[in-house]
Amino acid sequence: MKDFEYQTATTVDEAVSLLAARGERARVLTGGTDLIVQLREGLREADLVVDIKKIPELMELSYSPRSGLKLGAAVPCYRIYDDPEISRAYAALADSARIIGGWQIQSRASIGGNLCNSSPAADSIPSLIVYDVICHLAGPQGRRTVRVADFCTAPGRNVLGRGEILATLEFPPIKKNSGASYLRFIPRNEMDIAVVGAASWLQLDAAGERIEKARVALAAVAPTPLPLTAVSEWLVGKPATSETFAAAGDMASLAVKPISDKRGTVEYRKHLSGVLTKRTLVIAADRARGASAPAH
């Protein structure tokens, strides 16, 4: 690996000014589970690496039913699933955090890094989309917010400008009678990149019978993580039954336009999109009715 300069920032302003001064030649380091591999393999180059894990705001993880969840961009995955209250409230986020790599990866890897790496197959992004997360960015021009569905722009690309970092992810408070789930398909049991990933979020009526609101998003079927807007809208007002969820799965299969690569063909990915959409909707509905999240 080519050598680089290493700096630790302790405030957001310090990180931003270090990064802004070097532009493209500077990279942010959180868990390093993407960045170190990319630098070592020559996929990316950097003259300066700015470690942001010492910035308190970026390591904050706080939850209250009233204000929702604030997830600092550098918080490693294990802190999410280790917190029983957060894993119960934001079960799809915990589903994602538990399957990003193995335990060694989860000790380091952050959800912020997963989002900023902006892979179309990233396991956390569909969950962030269905929770309608707000990304708080900080840059040389100050702070701004972006909806997570608008964050990724192309494989490995996103809306971050020169010197700009992701500071926190804001999850809205959990709605009554709502539930969510994330599943991915891989040929192994663990430790692989999603052939397809799906997240679903549902809000049901008080009886748990009719869908009031829905959001579905998929990974690895488009150049960026894909919100399935038409399917989500179609679900509203429908009964929360297996027939409805199967029909939504069929719609998802038709709605996606994936590519063929070494992980799967177009046909296979379309099929998986349907299956995973249906299954995550079933789990989301169960969770909305009060079933607690399974261990994983």
Partner 1 sequence: MAKKIHVTSTINGEPIEFLCDARQSLLEVLRDTLDFTGAKEGCNNGNCGACTVLLDGLPVDSCLVLGVEVEGAKITTIEGIAREAHLHPIQQCFLEDAALQCGICTPGFIMSTKALLDSNPNPSEHEIRFQLSGNLCRCTGYDKIIRAVQDSAKALSAGVERGGTKATQPDGRRAAKKQPQAR
37 binds partner 1 (CB under 8 A): yes
Applying CB under 6 A, the span of 160-168, 175-183, 207-215, 241-249 interacting with ligand FAD comes to: 160-168
Measured from the CB atom, the residue of 28 and 293 that comes closer to ligand FAD is 28
Q: Which of 2, 42, 243, 290 binds partner 1 (CB under 8 A)?
A: 2
**Cα–Cα nearest to 133, from 172, 94, 95:** 172
For residue 147, state whether it binds partner 1 (rule: CB under 8 A). no
Selected binder of partner 1 within 104, 207, 262, 290 (CB under 8 A): 104
Q: Is 212 in the site for ligand FAD (CB under 6 A)?
A: no
Per-residue H/E/C for the chain: CCCCEEEECCCHHHHHHHHHHHHHHEEEECCCCCHHHHHHCCCCCCCEEEECCCCHHHHCEEEECCCEEEEECCCEHHHHHCCHHHHHHCHHHHHHHHHCCCHHHHCCCEHHHHHHHCCCCCCCHHHHHHCCCEEEEEECCEEEEEEHHHCEEECCEECCCCCCEEEEEEECCCCCCEEEEEEEECCCCCCCCCCEEEEEEEEECCCCCEEEEEEEEEECCCCCCEECHHHHHHHCCCECCHHHHHHHHHHHHHHCCCCCECCECHHHHHHHHHHHHHHHHHHHHHHHCCCCCCCC
| Minimum distance of ligand FAD from residue 84's CB (angstroms) | 22
218 counts as binding ligand FAD under rule CB under 6 A: no
Q: Which of 71, 75, 116, 199 binds ligand FAD (CB under 6 A)?
A: 116
Could you say which of 17, 22, 51, 59 contacts partner 1 (CB under 8 A)? 51
The one-letter amino acid at 260: S
According to the binding rule CB under 6 A, does residue 140 interact with ligand FAD? no
Among 98, 184, 269, 278, binds partner 1 (CB under 8 A): 98
Of the candidate residues 6, 143, 172, 209, the single one contacting partner 1 (CB under 8 A):
6
Which parts of this chain interact with ligand FAD (CB under 6 A)? 27-35, 37, 52, 73, 99-101, 105, 108-110, 112-114, 116-117, 122-123, 160, 165-166, 191
Which parts of this chain interact with partner 1 (CB under 8 A)? 1-6, 29, 31-33, 36-37, 39-41, 49, 51, 53, 78, 81-84, 87-88, 98, 101-105, 107-108, 189-191, 295-296
